[in-house]
Structure 1
Amino acid sequence: MLTFVTLSSCVPKEENTTAINPEAYWGESPWPEIRKQRINQLLPQAMEAANVDCWLVVCRENNNDPIADHVGGENAGGTAAFLFYRDADGFHSKVFSPSGEATALDEMDIHDEVVKVSGSSAMGMAADFIKEKNFSRVAVNSSSSNSMADGLTYTQRMSLEGLLGAESKKLVSSTDLIYEWLSIKLPEEVEVLKKAAKLTAEWQVEAYEQIIPGKSTDADIARFLKQKMAEYGVTDGWAADQNPNVNSGPDRGHSHATDKVIMPGDVIQIDFGIKVYNRWVSDIQRFAYVLKDGEETAPEEIQFYWNSSKAGNRAAFNAMKPGATGAEVDRAQRLLMQEAKSENVPWSTGHPVGYVAHDVGPSLGGGMSTRVRTVSTKLLKEGMTFAFDGFHAWKREDGTEKTISVEEMAVITANGAAYLIAPQEELILVRTKK
């Protein structure tokens, strides 16, 4: 079935037609309870997978650790030390916090114990506790490969090593631990992502309804989507200047929408993501073709490009299952690209998405490379969420390149992958009402 968007007005809609109360629409953020569950359920598993006994996170005001709000340290003033550890009695959390923040932190009921620090050093007390417990491996946030695991500053590291003395040899990077922890999303989080994905896709279809060929610009359509975001009280899924990317011309990669006028015969890409509850992010693309006079369907070659892109997306989807590598998923759709004689594209088939657009987890890339990046050899696991594409790129008449990239979102389940929302099946057709 073809999807048509018919236009009768002559300018893009600017006014909101429905009054939305964002606070009532979204309700209270589920993050506080989800964070507790993630700490108590997923973090012990991540520590076991990373083979660490203890994890130390140092939080402070103004230059905080990037993982701070995942452990409850987002309101740190003076230096606070958050410890998560495993021993014979199970999993525990303990915080050494300046007295000014300790009461509020304790009332958040995230941690087993909050110790007020007055007249002494939180890091010093944490170091004493680490030595007392005689842990074998203590993870700290120093990483050369993951920015989320690289929050410990040089001076903090030097101070900690001085306090630990000979025990500092037990310090290891938290790279693996944070990878294992953040890459998995709870079912409750997947439900939030579904809601975000649904709005993202619906608004893109609605945005196509605003197009007046020969008048509307890519930037006009981007502004419409910004208005929808404001109406619903959500923020950008990535850099605001490049979200959404509406592009009716040749490929521009990750970029901003321009003042190019949308014309009959254009293939239009909208790459768009929103952040909900100031926490979870969507990343969805929808594509349309602007019919020329006398056309009722897209030209045969455009329909072929669309079908090829969609087939690549479905091939990647079918390859996404627990135990598969990111490179295997990438290869599944690139083989179809070769068969369809697509031009090469520089982008990976997909990436993790969740807390940010390019989240922690396996990269779905490198499937046709002889030297695969480590992150593409990582195994997909149940609970991981991805945004992923099927590609077809071709040369336009002017020699520039255009790519259709059918981008959807999915979660890995025990039996394979599941789309978060129904995928785009047909190329949206935009035409002007006579």
Structure 2
Amino acid sequence: MTLRLSTAAALLCAAFAAPSALAQTTAPPIIAMSDAEQAQPEMPRLLPMRERAEVIDRILAERLETVIPQIMREQGIDMWVLMAREYFEEPVIATMLDAESMSARRRTILIFHDPGEGRPVERLTVSRYGMGGLFEPAWNPDEQPDQWQAVADIVAARDPQKIAINFSDLSAFGDGMTLSQYRLMNAALPESYRERIVSGEDLAIRWLESRTPEEIAIYPGIVRIAHSLIARAFSREVITPGETTAEDVQWWYRDQLASLGLTPWFHPSIGIQRAGAEGMLEGKTVIQPGDLLWTDFGITYLRLNTDTQHLAYVLKPGETEAPGGLRAGLAATNRVQDHLLQAFATGLSGNEILARARAAAIADGLDPSIYSHPIGLHGHGAGTPIGFWDNQNGDPRGEYRVRANTAWSIELTSYNAVPEWGGQKVDFRSEEDAWFDGETVRFLDGRQTELTLIPAG
């Protein structure tokens, strides 16, 4: 049965209750969403690898049971054919592999078929290896050696009216079909079925962007992991002003993630803005008292991704707080966030949300740049972008419509002159992960509203 928003919300609330339904099964700690971010958050308990696999497979089974029927019927598609080769997984199949399948095996072909009349969607695998019991094996190579003919036989037996395969001019997530596989499949299909092939682009995006109740329940705890590591990175545990370089902090992140069995989906960034210095200083630059530090940091845990940007100030000797101009700059960025959150509405395109948010922020006297994006099974996730840092005027990729039950990285900046730095214009970047329930955007684990302070020593 397709979960409606009210049902999903009820399950989500139940997940936050104590004792929770999720607590009775293998699950990471469940942390309630909050608008306020903790200054020194504790690291949540991380699951051992076997338990991580149990969570991944349970969530995947739920997604296949609920999301697939919903999106196929929403898009009017009665058959979706996906295929990938070993070590060349297309984006969708990569998220459908069970936790013990590290990659596609030889050629993995997955077929979803909706027989209609409310009957369950068939999940078939045309491959030599199993798929964790999540797909029904539908090919016996001893009886039919030709894998492509096996696919053609499945198609003919079910006579679908629309056969979706993943090709797209705009979205990488919906463009997983390779030319060679398309040619081989077409050669096996009777001509009458070739004419029924349509793009699965929207199916791919809808599969990837849709979050289930359990995913949303565990997501704040995953973001908390990232926040706790950032808090340690921006502290005297890691940074000794006058000695530590920007790249020292980057590699501290990498070492910590390796020790915890976590994966970064991009190399962490550390930048330094300094009075009298132009732009962002990086690399071997030594961190000094009076610097404004910026980090961009993202992890993958239980197949969900985080993406966070925070700011810290290195106190000068005798200082107990950051200069007022720096504090005002972060406050201005928080106001840009507010305007963006208020611009969200189901059914609007990313371009429309961008235009609404920018207009409101500029009318508020702010100097914004907005470049937010979906997040979930990928860091820069499937769905509509809301601006790009190098394009604030809308983009063809931003025409896709925003849906409920989707997760977002609220990524943006405001530019502000800092009087204490001689009027120098400073870039106050921020990025916080959030959930859109169809009506309201809520931060998964709060947002930064005060600069992190690092003592000079």
Q: TM-score range by the shorter chain?
A: 0.7 to 0.9
Match of 1:114 in 2: 138
Match of 1:213 in 2: 241
The CA distance in 1 between the partners of 2:168 and 2:64, in whole Å, is 21
Match of 2:110 in 1: 82
Is 1:57 equivalent to 2:85 in the alignment? no
AA matched with 1:213: P
Deviation at 1:306, TM superposition (A): 1.2
Match of 2:261 in 1: 233
Is 1:174 equivalent to 2:200 in the alignment? yes
Match of 1:92 in 2: 121
Structure 1: where are the runs of 5+ without partners?
A: 6-17
Deviation at 1:420, TM superposition (A): 0.5
Deviation at 1:406, TM superposition (A): 2.0
Is 1:418 equivalent to 2:442 in the alignment? yes
Deviation at 1:132, TM superposition (A): 3.3
CA contact (8 A) 1:22 1:231 kept: no
Deviation at 1:390, TM superposition (A): 4.0
Deviation at 1:351, TM superposition (A): 0.4
Match of 1:68 in 2: 93
CA contact (8 A) 2:310 2:431 kept: yes
Deviation at 1:206, TM superposition (A): 1.5
Match of 1:201 in 2: 227
CA contact (8 A) 1:391 1:406 kept: yes
Output the TM-score relative to the length of structure 1.
0.83
SS at match of 1:432: coil
Root-mean-square deviation over aligned CA pairs = 3.2
Task: Summarize the alignment of residues 367-382 of structure 1 with structure 2, pairs less than 5 Å apart.
Answer: 372-382=394-404
Assess, with a 3 A threshold, how the Cα gap between structure 1 residues 371 and 273 changes in structure 2: closer, same or farther.
closer
Assess, with a 3 A threshold, how the Cα gap between structure 1 residues 26 and 261 changes in structure 2: closer, same or farther.
farther
Task: Summarize the alignment of residues 33-432 of structure 1 with structure 2, pairs less than 5 Å apart.
Answer: 33-72=58-97, 76-89=104-117, 90-98=119-127, 100-101=128-129, 104-105=130-131, 108-112=132-136, 114-118=138-142, 119-166=144-191, 167-210=193-236, 211-238=239-266, 243-249=267-273, 251=279, 258-277=283-302, 279-335=303-359, 337-339=361-363, 345=369, 348-365=370-387, 372-394=394-416, 402-432=426-456
Over the matched positions of the two proteins, sequence identity in percent amounts to 20
Greater mean alpha carbon deviation, residues 352-361 or residues 82-91 = 82-91
Assess, with a 3 A threshold, how the Cα gap between structure 1 residues 4 and 235 changes in structure 2: closer, same or farther.
closer
AA matched with 1:187: P
SS at match of 1:262: coil
CA contact (8 A) 2:83 2:90 kept: yes
The CA distance in 2 between the partners of 1:326 and 1:148, in whole Å, is 17
Assess, with a 3 A threshold, how the Cα gap between structure 1 residues 122 and 267 changes in structure 2: closer, same or farther.
same
Deviation at 1:229, TM superposition (A): 1.3
Assess, with a 3 A threshold, how the Cα gap between structure 1 residues 24 and 68 changes in structure 2: closer, same or farther.
closer
Greater mean alpha carbon deviation, residues 37-46 or residues 212-221 = 212-221
SS at match of 1:304: helix
AA matched with 2:107: T
Q: Which whole-Å deviations, capped at 9, do the CAs of 1:350-384 have from their partners, x for residues lacking one?
A: 10111121010121227998963244233322210
Q: Which whole-Å deviations, capped at 9, do the CAs of 1:310-346 have from their partners, x for residues lacking one?
A: 111122223334334323443354345535665564x
Deviation at 1:133, TM superposition (A): 2.5
